[in-house]
Amino acid sequence: MQNVNPFQEQKPVKALRYCVFWGFSVLLSPIVVPARVLLSAMNLLLIAAVLGFAIRKQDLNKQLSPKRRHFVIWAGKYLIRLQLWLLGYLRIKIQGTVPDFRTTKLLVSNHVNSIDPLFYVTLGFESFVCKPSIEFMPVFGVATRSGQPIFVSQQTQQKIKSRFEANQFENGKLKFPTLVVFPEGTTTNQRALLKFKSGCFQEQAEMAFINYDQKYFDHSDASCSMLIPQLKSLVALYSSVSLEFMGKYVPSVDEQKDSKLFANNVCKYYSNQKNLKIMNLTRNDKFYYRTGKLELYNGCSEQFKLEFGPQCIKK
pLDDT tens across the length of the chain (315 residues): 457 899 999 999 999 999 999 999 999 999 999 999 999 999 999 999 999 999 999 998 899 999 999 999 999 999 999 999 999 999 999 999 999 999 999 999 999 999 999 999 999 999 999 888 888 888 888 999 999 999 987 778 888 989 899 988 888 889 999 999 999 999 999 999 999 999 999 999 999 999 999 999 999 999 999 999 999 999 999 999 999 999 999 999 999 999 999 999 999 999 999 999 999 999 999 999 999 898 899 999 999 999 999 988 887
Range of the domain at 311: 290-315
Are residues 221 and 114 part of one domain? yes
Inside any domain, residue 157: yes
**Tally of domains in the chain:** 2
**DSSP per-residue codes, the chain:** -----TTSPPPPP--HHHHHHHHHHHHHHHHHHHHHHHHHHHHHHHHHHHHHHHTTT--TTSPPPHHHHHHHHHHHHHHHHHHHHHTTEEEEEEESPPPPTTT-SEEEE---STTHHHHHHTTT--EEEE-GGGGGSTTHHHHHHTT--EE-STTHHHHHHHHHHH--EETTEESSPPEEE-TTSS---SSEEEPPPSTTTTS-EEEEEEEE--SSS----SSS-THHHHHHHHHSS-EEEEEEEEEEE---HHHHH-HHHHHHHHHHHHHHHHT-EEE---HHHHHHHHH--HHHHTTS-HHHHHHT-TT----
For the stretch 99-149, pLDDT in tens is 999 999 999 999 999 999 999 999 999 999 988 888 888 888 899 999 999
pLDDT attached to residue 107? 97
Are residues 164 and 122 part of one domain? yes
Are residues 315 and 231 part of one domain? no
pLDDT attached to residue 197? 95
Are residues 312 and 163 part of one domain? no
Note the pTM of the prediction, 2 decimals.
0.93
